[in-house]
Structure 1
């Protein structure tokens, strides 16, 4: 199965989900603004997501997918389904246990991650209530991660990529007829939890269509489950370490009213290229690398890494450049409105700028970590993630309090530290792969990267000109169209994309032959356990 085809399927559905996610976040931010209600809702979204990334989408997927693929190839589909059923029962029990403990301890947890509001009882209690409502989302997403892993191993990327649209549609429906900020936040919190179980149901149906029947049974630590958990432990530690960054950011930003909302809005745009490119390629890359590790003679591992690196940078570098060159243009055009003012957009743009130059690093982590996981090596990525945590926590706190000491907002320092930590992690992963010879970039890959950089520079000049002329550009469209500033922002982004695409083709950073080769299906038999996409 072509890496580019799988990536485009994943990225295509992720794009739909992200566009719906933008609509969701834009509606909610315009309803509740960037005050204490917005900060409470940002906390309620972040906390269950923290555990979801550790248990569901992070450590479990990285341990389960290679083991499931190997079991299916060596023993058979029936035995692999039994292993999946055992893992499903244990994972669901663990997620439910974590959820229950968090519900009980939520008032004390809020003192850590939302302590800046501790002296404001109404705001503090509202944050507790919303987070207790959203916490069961973890259980639904734990089940979803296993079902998605089964589908992805079989080459079925479409359904797992499309499932997150359920979250966005559910939240949009929940606030469609609400205008009061508190009620909007409450409705959206309920919708988050409901969507987790709806996604799990959709993916379960997909597994049934695939012929894999999984049911809840008495949780037992079978040898296979123990093996998965053994591989998971370093990833859990690494994931937990990474999420310490989130906790520190949440805790520090709670001391500046509106900061959580600004960082959340910046994070949504920052996560767009990461979700479309980094996650999409990482999801498509891991099963391929797992099969390559099982058959080292194929030599497909190095080729897959080169393809993934070039493909990811071809999309990531121009996206990162846009975030750095015109952050306020983007936030004013795409986010400002209603309770989210132009001042909020400017404050968010300051954070977005610093997230922007970290985007390539975070995408690289998604590309360079799978080679370790595919070979069962989760310890070194864990150690590198820990280094990133130390960098993020120490620099984040230092810059935060340093900026406040000179009378400047400290939240910007959290974005700076996050990007520096990302680069530290990515460079350690890359250095290890290069040193050990696991990855030896070929000349064509390096050549294309240089050409991509030149094409990105050409696009950046056009965007910079638009940024300097934001007011007349948006003013012209606002005077003629209902959604004038949104249309103006889209048009500028489209022109930038056209310039980049034209430059990339002119410089042969991308060719028609590259696209045809990437998208064509393999002529030989499909690897064991793979089929066509949905």
Structure 2
């Protein structure tokens, strides 16, 4: 499935509130031109993750409203809507955030450091013209061919003419989001290279707010709600591109609109991006296979999309954030042949990402049904939908560390200008996913088998990336990093035990909460409040175990706070 989020958020996509733009004074030297400092990945990732957290929270609010309005297996609206989200999202991840980021960000950061702001902004102007031209042309072709494309991407819809027709119309509405998001991704890369992470983490907030404003007024009509949500995607795309343009100009980037030109810089970016695009398309082929298989089950696309929302949370907050912060710093360290900084940046990214990801994965696997039922079962989203979504979430859960590790290991190749090997490894993972997804789906696992295949293919990719970095001596985790990872895993196992026991004892825990609410005159909210209490208890258990096992020390926390300041 998707690697973001949020469906259609950069992270994703995966998928918060009013966008906060950092007041910018044009600096004498950008973050890209300065020598990377210890703790820089953590600090930059913290900024990006804080903004992404706001976006994800609003994304949850958005999804709660949409799943209640559209349901899953109770009608054609939900599956058609998630098709309309996933199709432009597929191309966005291939071009806008995947291949383009891998090729453009190092090129822009290198030019900014070696030739100055004017030359770097010329590269960005030419790249913007090229990516806009390509995505607009792709959008026009897709719009005209959408009825034929839908027969390929959702074979199972052919048996349901109403669902097929609605999916075609809604996807035609959302498809112009692609060029808007491509422009926003380029400008976000400019901001990141200049050390500005607030807007690049915050602009998905607009999508969530606009979709909430569009769907909340719709009452009781699933089809009307699906149309409202789809039109909101298009409006949000224009708003997001506009916000990133404004922020880049405020940051001092002199980027202009111009006709597309095949300049040497653009040619170099394309040459670098093509293998990365093929590699990133591998993940999207996985999405294509998953979507096609799930289209044979009423509600299948919605079950996967809802499970996707939860496992994308740690990926968006951790993997994407650290990967975005890591690439410019690693590129600078590679360019200056600073091997110590390369090792320090990779170790820091690995430890920080796993300290946040392993407990999240443990919780997803220990209490999948509790999470789905408490968050989404209401309105048109039925109990049967919660059960099937939880089965998929369980198998996405053990793949979460792999999804994040890909974001950490791949930049070690991209920073060295190597996009071919990640491409080959990603294509290999596609083959693994295709074989397993088809096999497990037909052997009776259904939609859960699709999720298991996606996780297995992600771990295949991680093993290939990690083994190659090890063999070529580009990166080997230090003994200290391995020591820390073992203790993080131990603390995460403790968290899993706590929340797993709480999930088993849910009726006993939820009953007194319901009684207290009844005394206050309310018959709703017991399962949600119980979930919050269990999550809080699990979080406290993890923190306590992390300090007890010395996976984290107070001195390191104080040092991180000082560096952030």
Same-fold call, TM cutoff 0.5: yes
Summarize deviations over 1:72-91 as a string: whole Å, max 9, x none: 11111101101100000010
Q: Which residue of 2 aligns with 1:527?
A: none
1:3/1:518 contact within 8 Å kept: no
- Separation (CA, whole Å) in 2 of partners of 1:480 and 1:98: 56
User: Counterparts of 1:307-326 in structure 2 under 5 Å?
Assistant: 307-326=348-367
Summarize deviations over 1:462-516 as a string: whole Å, max 9, x none: 1111011112323332343442211111111111000000110111111122123
* 1:298 Cα deviation after fit: 5.5
Which of 281, 284, 301 pairs up with 2:325?
284
2:285/2:430 contact within 8 Å kept: yes
1:4/1:519 contact within 8 Å kept: no
Normalized against structure 2, the TM-score is what? 0.90
In the alignment, does 2:70 pair up with 1:32? Answer: yes
Q: Which residue of 1 aligns with 2:447?
A: 411
Q: Which residue of 2 aligns with 1:204?
A: 245
2:118/2:254 contact within 8 Å kept: no
- Separation (CA, whole Å) in 2 of partners of 1:119 and 1:504: 52
- Separation (CA, whole Å) in 2 of partners of 1:459 and 1:238: 35
> SS at the partner of 1:369?
helix
User: Counterparts of 1:124-523 in structure 2 under 5 Å?
Assistant: 124-179=164-219, 180-297=221-338, 299-403=340-444, 410-481=446-517, 482-521=524-563
- Separation (CA, whole Å) in 1 of partners of 2:448 and 2:501: 25
* 1:119 Cα deviation after fit: 2.5
> SS at the partner of 1:520?
helix
Which of 52, 73, 89 pairs up with 1:49?
89
In the alignment, does 2:132 pair up with 1:92? Answer: yes
1:117/1:254 contact within 8 Å kept: yes
Q: Which residue of 1 aligns with 2:32?
A: none
Gaps of 5+ in 1: 404-408, 523-531
Summarize deviations over 1:68-117 as a string: whole Å, max 9, x none: 01111111110110110000001001010111111111111111122212
In the alignment, does 2:77 pair up with 1:13? Answer: no
* 1:240 Cα deviation after fit: 1.3
Aligned residues: 518
The runs of at least 4 aligned residues of structure 1 exceeding 4 Å deviation read none
1:292/1:301 contact within 8 Å kept: yes
- Separation (CA, whole Å) in 2 of partners of 1:519 and 1:382: 38
1:400/1:410 contact within 8 Å kept: yes
> SS at the partner of 2:516?
coil
Q: CA RMSD in A?
A: 1.2
Q: Which residue of 2 aligns with 1:406?
A: none
- Separation (CA, whole Å) in 1 of partners of 2:350 and 2:339: 19
- Separation (CA, whole Å) in 1 of partners of 2:352 and 2:51: 17
Gaps of 5+ in 2: 1-36, 518-523
In the alignment, does 2:152 pair up with 1:112? Answer: yes
> SS at the partner of 2:551?
coil
Normalized against structure 1, the TM-score is what? 0.95
> SS at the partner of 2:338?
helix
- Separation (CA, whole Å) in 2 of partners of 1:479 and 1:33: 29
> SS at the partner of 2:449?
helix
